[in-house]
Amino acid sequence: MSDIKKVVLAYSGGLDTSVIAKWLQQTYGCEVVTFTADIGQGEEVEPARAKARAMGIQEIYIEDLREEFVRDYVFPMFRANTIYEGEYLLGTSIARPLIAKRLIEIANETGADAISHGATGKGNDQVRFELGAYALKPGVKVIAPWREWELNSREKLMAYCEQHDIPVDFSSKKKKSPYSMDANLLHISYEGGILEDPWAEAEEDMWRWSVSPEAAPDKPEYVDVTYAGGDIVAVNGKTMSPAEVLAELNRLGGQHGIGRLDIVENRYVGMKSRGCYETPGGTIMLRAHRAIESITLDRESAHLKDSIMPKYAELIYNGYWWSPERLAMQKLIDVTQECVNGEVRLKLYKGNVIVVGRRSDDSLFDASIATFDDDAGAYDQKDAEGFIKLNALRLRIAARAGRKLS
């Protein structure tokens, strides 16, 4: 007899998690609580309620977490200008700590013994969910069916559904995308299918959120974004909530073919994986944030942020959002954002985000010093001679000592 009496399952209502709900009931003889989060995946989440009820599930949580997702996870990440391995904007990675947090909170509310998720034993998400869960509730039991069962193919999952009368739309079998997809308000990802061949170009009809750059409008579109404390608070002069900002930038970027990415990344578990991503709003946000920082941050603050960003990105990718080192880095990053206020003007054109203007009441750009015209004595060019000689001193000493340069 299992000592697990109640499990909180991260439940999408799709094939995998519907099978997991029934499998948990049968394997552990336990009560299942389902949790479905709306984080902007673009699909109706309410049908998950009917599917859960059809399996006899009594406690069903369906929550709109879009604002919390962008405000407390996406925006803090973008204050650091975060990219993983030089390209990836971490759209899947940044959603996992929020889901893990709510799984634990619901487990506490319902008196559950365990949580469960549908991540496979090959990917990063199992690590992200579980590291987050253990950080927030050290003694929690985690059930990962993909590491336990033998239902390792879509055909076996469908057969299980038929055998146990699980309410899944079997007609969807023919319509199912050949790709494994994950979507939220920041991005949509694609893996599997022909993408498992890193030489094969992604099919055009795979992309959901953006037109191809070739099909984008021939006329550029100008967009103004307003920053306060490092976060965008308005688009084209209209004040918006965090989720509204990202949704609007997704719309604008998608129209202009912005945000497509095709990469081979290094998963935390050790393997390489080829994936394609659409992150139109995030691509705009990254470019705009660096532009406003270019006039509001001093040099050493900006360079310090750039130096720690790869580590910060790695922590998020690997699932350490709730780690003390990420939290410490976030405090440093957030302090630098106090004067990151102002406006950035962007030109969107055929897959490109082009910065054409930036202004701020907190700007450190001093035209009277930087000008190529007469600066009226604001900067004494003779000072540069001593500056250069002092900085060259160690190089001159080494050269005189006969040190080789190659």
Q: Which residues are catalytic?
A: 16, 96, 125, 180
Q: Whose CA is closest to 358, among 224, 183, 230?
A: 224
DSSP-assigned letter for residue 226: E
Q: Whose CA is closest to 76, among 299, 324, 321?
A: 321
CA–CA separation, 51 vs 167, rounded Å?
6
Q: Whose CA is closest to 132, among 332, 346, 323, 405?
A: 323
CA–CA separation, 88 vs 264, rounded Å?
10
Helices (H), 111-238: 125-136, 154-164, 172-175
CA distance to 9, 19, 37, 172, 181, per residue, from 51 (Å): 14, 11, 15, 15, 21
Compute φ and ψ for 236, nearest 5 degrees: 50, 40
Q: Are 138 and 104 in contact (CB under 8 A)?
A: no
Given its phi and psi angles, is residue 40 left (phi above 0), alpha (psi -120 to 50 degrees) or beta?
left
> Which residue shows structure tokens 């993909």?
146
CA–CA separation, 326 vs 311, rounded Å?
9
Return the number of other C-beta atoms located less than 10 Å from residue 47's C-beta: 14
| Angle value at C-alpha 368, between 363 and 371, nearest 5 degrees | 105
